[in-house]
Amino acid sequence: MTTATSYPEENPGPSPTIEHAFDVLDRELNLDPRERIRAVKLHLEITTHLKKAGVIDNAILQGSVARKTALKPLRDIDKVGFLHPNHDGLQSSPGGADDAARLVEDVLRRAYPDALIERARHAIQLDFGEHTFSFDLVPAFECDDGTGDMMIMDLVSQTGPWKRSNTRTLIDVVAEKNQQCGGKFVHVVRMVKHWARQVFGEALPGLHVESIAFAVLSEVTSYGEAVSLVFEHGAALLGGSGYTDPTGDEHLSDKLDVGTREEVRRAFEGAAVKSTRALRLDANGRASEAIAAWHEIFGAPFPASSPSEKGFLAALGLGAPVNTGVRQPKPSTTPTRAWAP
């Protein structure tokens, strides 16, 4: 694992201007609190329908929403529904996963007749429409070995209908890393995920970005330095030994084919060169040029204006935020969700 903790000592740190610019980026990437509340209410409503029908006993959120690394607009939400003990026999039944899927589908179709309901490998997908929420609901059983792991539905596995998942551990270790980094880790992850979305669209699952950042960062002194370290050491990991998921359970980089991995490595390497230049410009007192360099990396919503211009002051909270275009993402070629092992 590659770990880096700070930038070279000769770098005096970011200027207040650059810090404010990153604060603008951070605020723009945060989920809308009202949107999050609506999502949680719908999550609880779905849970209530399934509990009243006797299908599940409890449910939790998982994925980027649970880890606080989701980007707005909030669309895809992952949750786990723990099947009621009355259905324990499905764990040992060859068709248990299919039967569990059918139980969940029947309830959801009655409760939400206008929603699109489809099956994925591990989840029942409940889509309320393009401009609102889509839930991936994973039927599961608790493991009884004290690990907090669960057995989740697997409709295509050749080894059995249920697969072990350590999603709780994943949530916990990311929270611990965030605390270690002074509460800034999840913010850095969102920044790099925003960059990756511009470059790759949905072709690079967000968990890959989280895993690289997790391997690289042990503290966050400033957003600019942390982001640059993720780019630099991420490129090295992609070109070398690769990286595991944050729990260390799965060598996640092995899921990228050779061509995709090299494409991602080159993109991280290019961003590392640009971010290093931006840091040096700021260290040399050329904040206006540094802002332009960071804006080249992030596009909107990173401020594009010189600190002397009214638009930049507006972006710092003295008016309407700067609104500039971003490069259109590439079409998705891989699933948007990366399931924990």
pLDDT, average across residues 270-279:
98
For the cut 50, the answer to whether the pLDDT of residue 320 exceeds it is no
pLDDT of residue 159: 81
pLDDT of residue 1: 44
Give the type of residue at 250.
E
pLDDT, average across residues 304-314:
52
pLDDT of residue 336: 41
The residue ranking higher by pLDDT, 180 or 312, is 180
User: Closest by alpha carbon to 30, among 182, 175, 191?
Assistant: 191
Q: What totals of helices (H) and strands (E) does the chain contain, helices first?
A: 11, 7
pLDDT of residue 7: 40
Which segment of 71-75, 110-114, 115-119, 332-336 scores lowest on mean pLDDT? 332-336
SS3 content of the chain, % helix, strand, coil (to 5): 50, 10, 40
Confidence of residue 306 (pLDDT cuts 50, 70, 90): low
pLDDT, average across residues 77-83:
98
pLDDT, average across residues 269-297:
96
User: Closest by alpha carbon to 287, among 5, 2, 16, 7?
Assistant: 16
Cα 38 to its chain centre, rounded Å, is 19
Cβ atoms within 10 Å of 235's Cβ, excluding its own = 21
* pTM reported for the whole predicted model: 0.85
Question: Per mean pLDDT, which of 7-21, 47-61, 154-168, 297-311 is the most reliable?
Answer: 47-61
Confidence of residue 160 (pLDDT cuts 50, 70, 90): confident
For the cut 60, the answer to whether the pLDDT of residue 338 exceeds it is no
**What's the N-to-C CA distance of the chain in angstroms?**
19
For the cut 50, the answer to whether the pLDDT of residue 316 exceeds it is no
Task: Give me the percent of the chain exceeding a pLDDT of 90.
Answer: 81
pLDDT of residue 281: 96
pLDDT of residue 318: 37
User: Rounded distance, CA 103 to CA 87, Å?
Assistant: 10
Tokens, residue 184: 């800034």
What is the rounded average pLDDT for all residues in the chain?
88
Confidence of residue 12 (pLDDT cuts 50, 70, 90): low
Confidence of residue 334 (pLDDT cuts 50, 70, 90): very low
Instruction: Give tens-digit pLDDT for 206-260.
Output: 999 999 999 999 999 899 999 999 999 999 999 999 999 999 999 999 999 999 9
Cα-based angle 97, 99, 100 (whole degrees, multiple of 5): 65
pLDDT of residue 202: 87
User: Rounded distance, CA 218 to CA 327, Å?
Assistant: 31
pLDDT, average across residues 312-316:
45
pLDDT of residue 15: 82
Domains of the chain and CATH, by start: 16-30+170-318 (1.10.1410), 33-165 (3.30.460.90)
Q: Are 247 and 340 in contact (CB under 8 A)?
A: yes
Tokens, residue 114: 């206008």
**174 φ/ψ angles, rounded to the nearest 5 degrees:** -70, -40
- Beta strand ranges found along the chain (DSSP E): 56-62, 76-83, 116-119, 124-127, 134-142, 150-153, 162-165
Beta strand 56-62 with 76-83 is antiparallel
pLDDT of residue 3: 46
Distances (CA, A) of 52 to 41, 57, 103, 327: 16, 9, 13, 46
pLDDT, average across residues 133-141:
98
